[in-house]
């Protein structure tokens, strides 16, 4: 079955540094991968989508890479701020033609001022 792995340990970095989060998956070749942000007590919020034929996607201070050979996506936040502190989830489409997503367990990011 499809498996998604995200670093379960919290990532602590200093303000202004670049945060890099990892998402690894097995047993599947997704058509795309999505990243969501979740704050405590709230639902996940969509950030970025990257397709299998795209190597990199950017949005303001966010950058996502997608390596289908390594079965890995990296999520970068440059010039991180304390307001970036949250849990970040990656998600894959479950199957061609189906619209449901499988979510990773998320990585908690803490940006220290």
Partner 1 sequence: DAGVIQSPRHEVTEMGQEVTLRCKPISGHDYLFWYRQTMMRGLELLIYFNNNVPIDDSGMPEDRFSAKMPNASFSTLKIQPSEPRDSAVYFCASSSFLISTDTQYFGPGTRLTVL
CB 76 within 8 Å of CB 66: no
Q: In Å, what is the CA distance from 47 to each residue of 26, 69, 70?
A: 23, 23, 22
Q: Does 84 bind partner 1 (CB under 8 A)?
A: no
Q: Does 83 bind partner 1 (CB under 8 A)?
A: no
Supply the minimum distance, in Å, between the C-beta of residue 56 and partner 1.
Answer: 18
- DSSP letters spanning 30-67: -SEEEEEEE-TTS--EEEEEEETT-SEEEETTEEEEEE
Supply the minimum distance, in Å, between the C-beta of residue 15 and partner 1.
Answer: 28
Which is closer to partner 1, CB of 41 or CB of 113?
41
Q: Does 32 bind partner 1 (CB under 8 A)?
A: yes
Query: Sign of the CA dihedral 23, 75, 12, 70?
Result: positive
Q: Does 97 bind partner 1 (CB under 8 A)?
A: no
For partner 1, the binding residue among 1, 9, 43, 69 (CB under 8 A) is 43
Q: In Å, what is the CA distance from 5 to each residue of 15, 90, 92, 97?
A: 26, 9, 11, 23
For partner 1, the binding residue among 42, 53, 96, 113 (CB under 8 A) is 42
For partner 1, the binding residue among 62, 76, 103, 110 (CB under 8 A) is 103
For partner 1, the binding residue among 60, 83, 99, 113 (CB under 8 A) is 99
């Amino acid at each position: 079955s499809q498996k998604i792995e995200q670093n379960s340990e919290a990532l602590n970095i200093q303000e202004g540094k670049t945060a890099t989060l990892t998402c690894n998956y097995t047993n599947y070749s997704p058509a795309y991968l999505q990243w969501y942000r979740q704050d405590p007590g709230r639902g996940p919020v969509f950030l970025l989508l990257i397709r299998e034929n795209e190597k990199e996607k950017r949005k303001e201070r966010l950058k996502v890479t997608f390596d289908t050979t390594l079965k890995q996506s990296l999520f970068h936040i440059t010039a991180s701020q304390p307001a970036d502190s949250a849990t970040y989830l990656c998600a894959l489409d479950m199957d061609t033609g189906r619209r449901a997503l499988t979510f990773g367990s998320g990585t908690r990011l803490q940006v220290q001022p």
